[in-house]
Chains A and B, each alone.
Chain A
Amino acid sequence: MGESDNKEEKINRSDFMKATIAGIGGLIGIAYGLPAVAYVIGPAAKQGSSDWIQLGSVNKIEMNTPTLFKAVVETQTGWIKSEEEISAYVLTENGQDYIVMSNVCTHLGCRVRWVAEQGEFFCPCHNGVFSRDGSVVSGPPPRPLDRFESKVEAGILYVKRGG
Chain B
Amino acid sequence: MLANIGDWLNERFGWRSVWEAIFLRKIPHVNWLYTLGSATLFVAVNQAITGILLTLYYVPTPDHAYDSVVYITTQLPMGWFIRGLHHWGASAMVILTVAHLLRVFFYGAYKFPREVTWMTGVILLIVVIGFGFTGYLLPWDQRAYWATTVGTRIVGVAPVVGDWLLRVARGGDELSAVTLARFFGTHVWVLPAALIILVGMHLYLVIRNGISAVPGKDE
Contacts and interface: CB of A to CB of B under 8 A. Distances in A.
B208 to A, nearest CB: 24
Contact of A32 (B49, B67, B70, B75): B49
Contacts of B79: 39, 42
Contact of B78 (A35, A43, A78): A35
Nearest to A37: B78
B207 interface: no
Interface residues of A, number: 12
Q: Interface of chain A, helix or strand or loop or mixed?
A: helix
Contacts of B44: none
Contacts of A45: 77
Given A32-B49, A36-B53, A39-B82, A79 B77 contact: no
A97 to B, nearest CB: 40
B8 interface: no
A45 B77 CA distance: 10
Contacts, number: 38
Nearest to A81: B67
A104 B46 CA distance: 49
A86 interface: no
B57 to A, nearest CB: 7
Contacts of A79: 64, 67-68, 70-71, 75
Given A39-B82, A40-B53, A78 B77 contact: no
27 contacts: A32-B46, A32-B49, A35-B81, A36-B82, A38-B77, A38-B78, A39-B53, A39-B56, A39-B76, A39-B77, A39-B78, A39-B79, A39-B81, A39-B82, A40-B53, A40-B56, A42-B76, A42-B77, A43-B76, A78-B57, A78-B68, A79-B67, A79-B68, A79-B70, A79-B75, A80-B64, A80-B67
Interface of B: 46, 49, 53, 56-57, 64, 67-68, 70-71, 75-79, 81-82
